Amino acid sequence: MDPSRVMNSSITTHPMKRVTIVCEKLAREAILRILTEVGAHGWTLWEVEGSGNQGPRMADIPEFTNIQIEVIVRPPVAQELLGRLQRDFFPRYAMVAWETEIRVLRSEKF
Amino acid sequence: MDPSRVMNSSITTHPMKRVTIVCEKLAREAILRILTEVGAHGWTLWEVEGSGNQGPRMADIPEFTNIQIEVIVRPPVAQELLGRLQRDFFPRYAMVAWETEIRVLRSEKF
Amino acid sequence: MDPSRVMNSSITTHPMKRVTIVCEKLAREAILRILTEVGAHGWTLWEVEGSGNQGPRMADIPEFTNIQIEVIVRPPVAQELLGRLQRDFFPRYAMVAWETEIRVLRSEKF
């Protein structure tokens, strides 16, 4: 039995990574394409206001509309996704990305 | 003294669980009712775009509007909530749910 | 080398804190000012529906529009921010705040 699973009465949760990406709306289609390419099975996306040192493109714009994208993936997929973002997206788009440890029900969906 | 508390000068934070639910809008009232039943003291909810393998109902719909609900609860309440979702909601609604470890100020509010 | 860094092929992630604040819209400018004062380098903000025991001001209002603000900061800045919120904001505004451990790419941006 996988010791990283936690059982509590009838509930079993499984460790996954949530990767969150905050970026300019311009990057939307390219990001969604990369999510498909690395094998992510679903995402949520919503508009946020943002302000920050997120690249030269936004240096003179104190507040603007960004998108925040969240995707839940297995740990190796998170590594692959972050690697692709770092290599292919960070040089071209104003964005930040981070990962959070989470636990999910129904690991077969991810 | 509870050793899970972290003190740093005048700041004491307390471990809690954040449970996040992404589901079709149709499930909204049923979810909010279950949050009350398990004893959750507050929630936030917003609309998100989503795409994913989130159940047969959405198999043919590549992008759609979902809702994302977050609630902060004590760990046993998180278990109870996830158990209720798994048993009563997952068979009927397109949804995903996960928990994240967080630390809050003012634990008496949760 | 900092042992808290995780290397995986070409990906290095760095531990940070995400501080999330849910508050009444009235507190918006005051919160954004405090984020600048503690040295946070960027934030995202969006409107959420909320319901909860979030202070006397909202005791009679079952559902209302709040704002959810997320900021990623180094751990000492998270402590400073939570301390300021606890001391200066919690007595005056209906709000909750929590921190989550995350790992970021490009720590120099935070």
As a whole number of angstroms, the distance between CA A68 and CA A103 comes to 21
pLDDT tens digits, B76-104: 999 999 999 999 999 998 899 999 999 99
pLDDT value at residue B109: 78
pLDDT value at residue B41: 84
Classify B62 as helix, strand or coil. Answer: coil
SS3 assignment for chain A: CCCCCEEECCEEEEEEEEEEEEEEHHHHHHHHHHHHHHCCCEEEEEEEEEEECCCHHHCCCCCEEEEEEEEEECHHHHHHHHHHHHHHHCCCCCEEEEEEEEEECCHHHC
pLDDT value at residue B107: 73
The token pair at B24 is 């079709």
Cα distances (angstroms) measured from residue B95 to each of A34, B27, B62? 23, 9, 15
Q: What is the pTM of this model?
A: 0.85
As a whole number of angstroms, the distance between CA C37 and CA C29 comes to 12
Name the pLDDT band for C42 (thresholds 50, 70, 90).
confident
pLDDT value at residue C71: 97
Name the pLDDT band for C108 (thresholds 50, 70, 90).
confident
pLDDT value at residue C69: 97
The more confidently predicted of residues A37 and C11 is A37
As a whole number of angstroms, the distance between CA B45 and CA B32 comes to 10
Closest CA to B69 of B55, B83, B50: B50
Cβ A15 vs Cβ A74: under 8 Å: no
Residues of chain C in contact with residue B42, where contact means CB-CB under 8 angstroms, are: 50-54, 96
Q: Is the pLDDT of residue C1 over 70?
A: no
Interchain CB contact of A54 with C (< 8 Å): yes
pLDDT value at residue A110: 82
Residues of chain B in contact with residue C48, where contact means CB-CB under 8 angstroms, are: 44-46
CA A38 to chain centre: 12
Question: Rounded to 5 degrees, what are φ and ψ at A30?
Answer: -65, -40
* Chains adjacent to A (≥3 CB pairs closer than 8 angstroms): B, C
Interchain CB contact of C96 with B (< 8 Å): yes
Q: Is the pLDDT of residue A5 over 70?
A: no
Interchain CB contact of C22 with B (< 8 Å): yes
Residues of chain C in contact with residue B107, where contact means CB-CB under 8 angstroms, are: none
Structure-token match 């046993």, residue found: B76
Q: Is the pLDDT of residue A87 over 70?
A: yes
Compute the average pLDDT of residues A29-37: 94
As a whole number of angstroms, the distance between CA B7 and CA B103 comes to 12
pLDDT tens digits, B25-80: 999 999 999 999 999 988 999 999 987 654 434 444 545 789 999 999 999 999 99
pLDDT value at residue B60: 46
Interchain CB contact of A22 with C (< 8 Å): yes
In the chain, the amino acid numbered C89 is F
Name the pLDDT band for C9 (thresholds 50, 70, 90).
low
